[in-house]
Amino acid sequence: MIEAGEFDYVIAGGGTAGCVVAARLSENPNVTVCLLEAGPSDVNDGAILRLEDWMYLLDSGYDWDYLVEPQEKGNSFLRHARAKVLGGCSSHNSCIAFWTPKEDLDEWAANGCEGWSAAECWPRIRRLETNDGPGDHHGRDGPVNIRTVPPEDPCGVARCWRQRRRPACRRRASTRVRR
Ligand SMILES: Cc1cc2nc3c(=O)[nH]c(=O)nc-3n(C[C@H](O)[C@H](O)[C@H](O)COP(=O)(O)OP(=O)(O)OC[C@H]3O[C@@H](n4cnc5c(N)ncnc54)[C@H](O)[C@@H]3O)c2cc1C
């Protein structure tokens, strides 16, 4: 780590996006990159590594602790969580991963979001993941490990899903979630 000096790139915010951009730029050994983060490092912090306790991190100093503006019809004490730690919200979130439905991406593209169609985005998602789920669309050798939620997962995701009477199966990869 370089303490001070001049850099080819300075990235403000060592959150999810900032860390990825810094990592990708640093792959070139000929450029220098400075990543600035307002919060502390999360490296080797057991509290961050215990996924089942992620909600306690929201009240631990690893969050900016924003409050919402007073609401006209009540519910004004809601917290608006935003991480203040290296890794950003990906350090203190519950690590749930969804594949973006094809129809949503294609709708974005049809509405003018150039480059966001499923045909353009899905190969990138595939490249990102090592996924243990069924289907040819999944990546098997990317840097991010994604596994199917086990029935008794430590975060209680599957339990909440069942309590909301959702079927305990994978939804089809191209199906939009409806309430
Ligand atoms: C509680 C919670 C749970 C979530 N759960 C999931 C989930 O399960 N799955 C999922 O896919 N997504 C989840 N998300 C969403 C996901 O984590 C975010 O969309 C994503 O992390 C945003 O990345 P980002 O880089 O835009 O911002 P952030 O990750 O918020 O990064 C911004 C960084 O900039 C830093 N910063 C801000 N101001 C300054 C400054 N002036 N100087 C230096 N640094 C600064 C902050 O401290 C922070 O680290 C969750 C989000 C929250 C809040």
Q: What is the pLDDT of residue 110?
A: 98
Cα–Cα distance, 39 to 19 (Å, whole number)? 13
Q: What is the pLDDT of residue 88?
A: 96
- How much distance in Å is there from the Cα of 91 to the middle of ligand 1? 8
On the 0-12 / 13-18 / 19+ scale of CB atoms within 10 A, 160 is exposed
Residue of 63, 130, 66 whose CA lies nearest to 91: 63
Report the relative pairing of strands 144-146 and 66-67 from DSSP bridges. Answer: unpaired
pTM here is 0.81
Q: Are 139 and 128 in contact (CB under 8 A)?
A: yes
Q: What is the pLDDT of residue 161?
A: 63
Q: What is the pLDDT of residue 164?
A: 61
**Ranges of the chain with pLDDT below 70:** 1-3, 153-179
Q: What is the pLDDT of residue 174?
A: 44
Token pair belonging to 107: 């709708």
Q: List pocket residues of ligand 1, CB cut-off 6 Å.
A: 12-18, 36-39, 58, 81-85, 88-90, 93-97
Cα–Cα distance, 126 to 42 (Å, whole number)? 27
Q: What is the pLDDT of residue 31?
A: 96
SS3 assignment, position 140:
strand
Q: What is the pLDDT of residue 177?
A: 41
Nearest CA to ligand 1 atom 6: 93
